[in-house]
């Protein structure tokens, strides 16, 4: 279903697919974006407060970003991610963990003037295979409204 701003309702929930995190993913991400020893070096990971090789919080956030985009929920109407609030790296993500996320619409704000975007706030919760929360955040989006002249989603 092609969705525009008007098609979302507060309280709606969406589930993403899952993704299994490998040690290569963890170390590859850390080499580029979070080169701290406990994300790069298995032995340093064991000595850290994580007690094992764990993913960077930014990696978990990036995977969540991927899972959300993969749902194509906002594909037709997303005008660009605007803000995150209250991002919590609740528990560590380890190699072999499988993550999936739930997206709940918590707030919508119609456009102030015709032609401008609507705003949507989503509560995103990422869990592992044991259903333990690893990440939660509020994400704000600017979404395009359904084009006035068009009934069908295919029309430009």
Partner 1 sequence: MTEAEIIAFGRNYAPDPAHFDKVAAADGPAAGLCANWVQVLATAFRLFIEAGGFADTGEASPGMESARTLRPVRPGDTIRAIAEVVFMRPLRSRPQSGLMVNAFTIVNQHGETVAEMRLKSFMRRDPAAVAAETEEARA
| Interface positions with partner 1 (CB under 8 A) | 32-37, 48-50, 57-58, 61-63, 65-66, 69-70, 75, 78-89, 137
Give the neighbor-by-neighbor strand order of the sheet with 133-143.
13-20, 98-109, 118-127, 133-143
CA distance 103 to 78: 15
Pick the closer one to partner 1 by CB: 58 or 106.
58
Pick the closer one to partner 1 by CB: 78 or 102.
78
> Residue 61 has which token pair?
């956030």
Q: How far is the CB of 118 from partner 1 (least distance, A)?
A: 14
Those residues whose C-beta lies under 8 Å from the C-beta of residue 130, and which sit 6 or more positions away, are none
Pick the closer one to partner 1 by CB: 70 or 150.
70
Q: How far is the CB of 38 from partner 1 (least distance, A)?
A: 8
Pick the closer one to partner 1 by CB: 6 or 17.
17
Q: How far is the CB of 83 from partner 1 (least distance, A)?
A: 4
Pick the closer one to partner 1 by CB: 11 or 156.
156
Radius of gyration of the chain (CA): 18
Taken in order 14, 68, 65, 156, the sign of the CA dihedral is negative
Q: How far is the CB of 134 from partner 1 (least distance, A)?
A: 11
> Residue 58 has which token pair?
């930014």
Q: How far is the CB of 22 from partner 1 (least distance, A)?
A: 12
| Phi, psi (rounded to 5 degrees) for 6 | -65, -15
């Amino acid at each position: 279903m092609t969705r525009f701003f008007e098609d979302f309702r507060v309280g709606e929930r969406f589930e993403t697919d899952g993704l299994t995190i490998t040690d290569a993913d963890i170390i590859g991400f850390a080499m580029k974006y979070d080169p701290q020893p406990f994300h790069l070096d298995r032995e340093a990971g064991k000595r850290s407060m994580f007690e094992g090789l764990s993913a960077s919080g930014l990696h978990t956030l990036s995977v969540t970003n991927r899972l959300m985009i993969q749902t194509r929920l906002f594909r037709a109407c997303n005008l660009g991610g605007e803000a995150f609030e209250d991002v919590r790296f609740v528990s560590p993500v380890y190699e072999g963990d499988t993550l999936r996320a739930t997206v709940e619409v918590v707030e919508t704000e119609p456009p102030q003037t015709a032609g401008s975007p609507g705003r949507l706030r989503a509560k995103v919760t990422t869990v592992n295979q044991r259903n333990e929360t690893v990440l939660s955040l509020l994400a704000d989006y600017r979404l395009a409204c359904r084009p006035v002249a068009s009934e069908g989603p295919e029309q430009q």
